[in-house]
Amino acid sequence: MRKSTIGAFLVQLTFLSLFCSGAFAEENSSVYTKIDLNNDCSIIHADDFGATFACPGYRGYPVMVAEGDLRMFVSYGLNSLNERAAEQTLSPFNTIGETLEWRLANRTKGLTPIATILRYFTEDGMGDKQQFLIVTKVEQGATCQVARINASKYKDANQIARDLADSLAETFDCANEPINWGE
């Protein structure tokens, strides 16, 4: 009987050490917000070539959406117009979906946005239409696209996008790393 008591104690001790080391810490999670340019966003600039909108995101986190030359640009944060993401889009003509997925890391001070996932709809002008999920790193001074997943090609594109957001966003170097094409 003594061996079973020692064995049970060792199992409990192992479980406790794993728990305390963070092995059972919560994984990243998702929340969703809407981008409604007509009702929830304010125009901050408009001319003959397009417009720039300020929209509310997760817990009021600023979202900047710009349209120019039939392409959409999306950036995040208080300085969103000066982030690299404000200059990044897909080459074909495109629009964005209305649902924005925020990937949140569980930090000691609460859930912190580390990335977003947004669906882009493209058309090349010749009738070829596709959908892409764009993963964007969200960090003041380092907000940029980190991955693009062809959602028309992969059935599990949403999970691929989440996995790439979780594995790349926090350490991605916006100035030096190329965008991952999720392949």
Q: For position 128, what pLDDT does the model report? A: 87
**pTM for the structure as a whole:** 0.84
Using CA atoms, how far apart are residues 94 and 69, in angstroms rounded to an integer? 9
Residue-wise pLDDT for 4-34, tens only, equals: 444 433 334 333 333 343 444 468 999 999 9
Question: Residue 170 contacts by C-beta under 8 Å, 6 or more apart in sequence?
Answer: 105, 114, 137, 139
* Mean pLDDT (the chain, rounded): 87
Average pLDDT value for residue range 107-121:
90
Ranges of beta strands (E only) in the chain are: 29-34, 42-47, 50-56, 62-68, 71-76, 93-107, 110-123, 129-137, 144-150
Q: For position 18, what pLDDT does the model report? A: 38
Please state the domain extents for the chain: 23-168
Q: Are 56 and 63 contacting, i.e. CB atoms less than 8 angstroms apart?
A: yes
Residue-wise pLDDT for 30-77, tens only, equals: 999 999 999 999 999 999 999 999 999 999 899 999 999 999 999 999
Q: Are 71 and 84 contacting, i.e. CB atoms less than 8 angstroms apart?
A: no
